[in-house]
Amino acid sequence: MKREKIFERRLSEHFTVGDLARTGEAERYGIDNIPTERQVERMKALCERVLEPMRGRFGRLHVVVGFRCRKLHEALGATGSRSHLRGEAVCLHVSSMEVALKMYRFATKRIGGVEIRLSEPMSNGCRLMRLSVRSEVHSSLKGEDLT
């Protein structure tokens, strides 16, 4: 299947594969950041369980980082968590600490099971909020490869 066709594939009512997988870094490095079917299923679970409820409460979300294939992850020198590789994490652009706190409270009280990390503020006061969740799909794949 062609890249653009894959990126148009719907994960939920408001999110597509492209919303989570299309990145400037992949373009810059000339890497096709294409998820496997298993990763798409995890991305779908993330959208349905976390992003759609967040969007319903806060409106349009600005996804800065979503899925990363192994080649892109390595090209960026990323270390630590592999949630982006599995399709189980996104980083959202958050306009202020006040908004971040509201999102944090909503995610922890209304959604549950979401790991949340907040970046240090940027020069304009904005932050990145990383949301990750272990999907049911991933839980059943203990010991298997990330792809």
- 65: domain CATH number is 3.30.1380.10
- Tell me, yes or no, whether 121 lies in a domain: yes
- Tell me, yes or no, whether 147 lies in a domain: no
Q: State which residues form the domain around 126.
A: 3-139
pLDDT at residue 136, as a whole number: 55
pLDDT at residue 49, as a whole number: 92
Neighbours of 16 (CB within 10 A): 17
pLDDT more than 70, % of the chain: 90
pLDDT at residue 135, as a whole number: 59
**Residues 106-142 pLDDT 10s:** 998 888 788 999 999 999 989 999 999 875 544 443 4
**Residues 39-83 pLDDT 10s:** 999 999 999 999 999 999 999 999 999 999 999 999 988 876 789
**What total number of domains does the chain contain?**
1
- Tell me, yes or no, whether 144 lies in a domain: no
